[in-house]
Structure 1
């Protein structure tokens, strides 16, 4: 039979395991919460088709990767070429938010000298961000100029 001491030890280990699983990031990867907003301001340049899109993160992160892909293409091909893809280069600054196509200090395009492609109106895109072990994604919809 189990002694009272053994039962208490097993119970303490079990409760400790449950606590670690549900309340820490030791096992589960942390998630970055993202808010995407279309900003109804006059976009720069005469060829802009959509309002600028801004992304707000739930804290300050030193991003390792930022990527935007069209959702319809991504649903059928996980390796679809991204519209915008930045990777960490050196001394990445902590950011809490950014605009689509904006230069983020310490990051560079995945393909050297690549420029972000123009977003199309009334299209759904997916943003992927990575920072250390934390990852996040959000689908956002662009709206055309009025």
Structure 2
């Protein structure tokens, strides 16, 4: 599919929301580079699925923002590096501020409850208090 046909397909999809037209656009921009997502993901610290989602989201944004004045493929190809940088910046900021404790760290905060008060504990504690009170009253 040449650039003019792609531009017309995007404009047609914006008007008709035809699923067949969308699949043609999707295949052209996403499916044909599917094998590269692992390599691209390594460069931005993401896995295959995060990288694929980044490209898919960018494609959807470009389709919705396309007005027909320029070439759609150029718009998409210019948007991808910006989105990759944005993703990488967010990932590096998150890594700077996150603290992931090691398994050996005994002072690490956990979600496990270390001690639960059971009904038996309440009864035993009350019983011991009553016995102490009886002993002190004599």
Shorter-chain TM range is: under 0.3
Tell me the TM-score normalized by structure 2. 0.22
**Higher share of residues assigned helix:** 2
Higher relative contact order (CA closer than 8 Å, sequence separation 6+): 1
